[in-house]
Amino acid sequence: MKVTVDKAKLIAALQRKQAEDVARFNGENSLYETKQYSARQGYLTNLREYVKQIENGAEPLEEYDLERRLNRGLDWGKEPKGLNPKFASALERLSLIAMDEIQMNESDEYLSLI
Distance between terminal CA atoms of the chain?
A: 17
Q: Is 30 exposed, middle or buried (0-12, 13-18, 19+ CB in 10 A)?
A: exposed
pTM for this prediction? 0.73
pLDDT for 105 equals: 67
- Could you give the CA distance from residue 60 to residue 39 in angstroms, rounded to a whole number? 23
List pLDDT tens digits, range 46-103. 999 999 999 999 999 998 899 999 999 999 999 999 998 988 888 888 887 777 777 7
List pLDDT tens digits, range 5-17. 788 888 898 999 9
CA dihedral defined by 75, 81, 82, 86, rounded to 10 degrees? -170
What DSSP state is assigned to residue 113? G
Percentage of residues in the chain having pLDDT higher than 90: 58
What DSSP state is assigned to residue 60? P
Residue 106 has pLDDT above 70, yes or no: no
107 pLDDT tier (thresholds 50, 70, 90): low
Residue 33 has pLDDT above 90, yes or no: yes
